[in-house]
């Protein structure tokens, strides 16, 4: 059965009634989609960075969990405020610079050291 049609009990297929475009204040009728042609998303990419795509992956979550299970101290020790307690898992070479999820590219790091490292990378 086609997605834009409804079967009435004991009757023929009937076309679905058009709905209004999902954009606020637009009353253009649409069928089989949520938005009219002038309000459809025209983005060519997802708008997400390589880092955000990588850090939302199952591969990253598993690698982080495995690596942090064996972490006992902050591996960076970049600041005098270093707590020594690893709280976060960090990529030594960031994804934005082509870093991969490998044990050699991960480090257990405390929050103060991670803040310093991130600030340096963005400068």
Structural domain count of the chain? 1
Residue 114 covered by a domain: yes
Residue 5 covered by a domain: no
Per-residue pLDDT of the chain (123 residues; tens, 9 = 90+): 445 566 667 667 777 889 999 888 899 999 988 889 888 876 656 667 777 888 889 999 999 999 999 999 999 999 889 999 999 999 999 888 888 999 999 999 999 999 999 999 888
Pairing of strands 88-91, 29-30: unpaired
Residue 106 covered by a domain: yes
Residue 84 covered by a domain: yes
Q: What is the pTM of this model?
A: 0.59
Q: What is the DSSP track for the chain?
A: --TTEEEPTTS-EEEPPPEE-SSTT---EESSSSS-GGGS---SS----HHHHHHTSHHHHHHHHHHHHT--S-S---STT--S---EEEESS-GGGT--S-GGGEEEE-HHHHHHHHHHHH-
């Amino acid at each position: 059965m086609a997605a834009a049609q409804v079967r009435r009990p004991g009757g023929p297929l009937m076309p679905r009634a058009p709905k209004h475009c999902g954009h606020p204040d637009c009353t253009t009728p649409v069928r089989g989609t949520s938005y009219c042609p002038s309000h459809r998303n025209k983005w060519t990419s997802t708008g997400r960075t390589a880092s955000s795509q990588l850090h939302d992956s199952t591969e990253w979550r598993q690698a982080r969990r495995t690596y942090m299970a064996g972490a006992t101290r902050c591996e960076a020790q970049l600041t005098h405020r270093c707590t020594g307690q690893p709280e976060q898992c960090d990529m030594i070479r960031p994804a934005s610079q082509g870093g991969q999820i490998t044990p050699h590219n991960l480090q257990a790091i405390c929050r103060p050291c991670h803040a310093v490292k991130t600030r340096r990378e963005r400068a």
